[in-house]
Structure 1
Amino acid sequence: MFAASPRTQPRALAIWLLVAGVVGWWAAFSLTMERFHLLENPGSTASCDFSPLVQCGKNLESAQGAVFGFPNPILGLAGWIAPIVVGAAILSGARFGRWFWLLFELGMTLAFVFVVWLIAQSIFVLGTLCPWCMVTWVVAIPSFYAVTLHVIRTGMLPAPRALRRSADRLMGWVPLLAVVSYAVVAILAQIRLDVLGSVF
């Protein structure tokens, strides 16, 4: 166990995890309901199908939408519970050991890698932008940055002192890092899918 401090008991991180977890879980729940709708009504369209470019149906019914043999949103329903629980626990005064934070970081890293893969598949293979998927991207990306920087700055993830100091300074820049990441995704989507051209 680490002694309580602003870094090991990070209220801002806890609040973000709680909010991101709720938003991410709701997106996963909404996608799950859309998948049920499509299964119950073959040939119908999802309520989030706004155009050939902006839609959920193509993503949900694709091979990429069920990578592990079941709909991806089920992963979200299970996975987003973790940030909710961790955030709420920290706000209630809980302290976690190094092993817990490292496992949590591993989970966030795997989620981030999966999200990046899904973004690439959506833009470069399926040619669609799924609204509820994008909500997941919006909360998953900064969550990964925040948790990673936290475990580095606190020394829970072994790193040189200079790197820990850099991680501590970058913690306040997570919103900007997230915005830059969103911009990269938007630019890739524009180049590949001509999003603006389809809207205007």
Structure 2
Amino acid sequence: MTASGVRNRPIALAIFLIVAGLIGLWASFQLMVEKIHTLENPDAVLSCDFSIILQCGKNLGSAQGAIFGFPNPILGLVGFMAPIVVGAAIVGGARFNSWFWVTFNVGIAGAFALCLWLAYQSIFNLFTLCPWCMVVWSVTIPMFWAVTLRNLKVGAIPAPRALRKAATAAYSWVPVITLVGYIIIAIVAQIQLDVLRYLNF
């Protein structure tokens, strides 16, 4: 592998995908463990239940916690393997065609949309914030922006030149865009749930 070949591969993105995927996988695993506890003992006090607002028990026991008929953490256990594998493959020298990047992007966009929907359901219908769920949101949001902007920047996603130029400029701002997303969710949660009032561990 030549030095130019290494430079042409998105190594920084690949490392980020591996780290984010591992964090998401761990959070999904923890949620699955807690779900198993509730199945074994419906009255169990879960380790992620800190208050009536900050808890995961209500989320796991709700219809929103099994939108496809099985516990949502299973989606995470399966889905977060993809960024880990893709990232590891890139680090190992793999190159993917545009169709692969678009397909990967569609999957991440689906995860992003699902996280936004679950965040809405959690805040406005269940009136809780699930700690491990928020970890999943926290890695899915930047993954979506990083992969989408990268694909627009390099032309994997066909787009007008002006949009590609904007994506190129925005790509280095992914951490800031992500932080803004976190802040928006935090503000909405505070307005709706008065979260700070219940942060008594």
Give the TM-score of the pair, scaled to structure 2: 0.95
Given residue 117 of structure 1, which amino acid in structure 2 is its aligned partner? W
Give the equivalent residue in structure 2 for 1:46: 46
The one-letter code matched in structure 1 to 2:147 is V
Aligned to 2:145: 145
CA RMSD of aligned residues (A): 1.3
Distance 2:38 2:161 in 1: 52
Q: 2:58 corresponds to which letter in structure 1?
A: K
Match in the other structure for 2:71? 71
Matched, 1:100 2:100: yes
Structure 1 residue runs of 5 or longer lacking an equivalent are none
Shift of 1:108: 0.5
Structure 1 runs (4+) deviating above 6 angstroms are none
Match of 2:115 in 1: 115
Q: Determine the C-alpha separation between the residues in 2 that align with 1:69 and 1:185.
A: 27
Tell me the SS of whatever aligns to 2:54: coil
Kindly provide the amino acid, as one letter, of the partner of residue 33 in structure 1. Answer: V
Residue 31 of structure 1 is matched in structure 2 by 31
For 2:34 and 2:16, the matched residues in 1 are separated by 27
Partner secondary structure for residue 42 of structure 1: coil
C-alpha separation in 1, matches of 2:88 and 2:69: 32
Cα distance between partner residues in 1 of 2:87 and 2:161: 27
Deviations 1:64-92 (A, max 9, x none): 00000000000000000000001111111
**Which residue of structure 2 lines up, in the alignment, with residue 81 of structure 1?**
81
What fraction of aligned residue pairs are identical, expressed as a percent?
Answer: 58
Per-residue deviation at 1:4? Answer: 4.9
How far has the Cα of 1:196 moved from its partner?
A: 1.4
Q: What secondary structure sits across from 1:183 in the alignment?
A: helix
State the partner residue of 1:128. 128
SS in 2 for 1:53: coil
Normalised to the residue count of structure 1, the TM-score between the two structures is: 0.95
Secondary structure at 1:50 match in 2: coil
In structure 2, C-alpha distance between the alignment counterparts of 1:168 and 1:5, rounded to whole Å:
20
Aligned position for 2:161: 161
**Per-residue deviation at 1:197?**
2.2
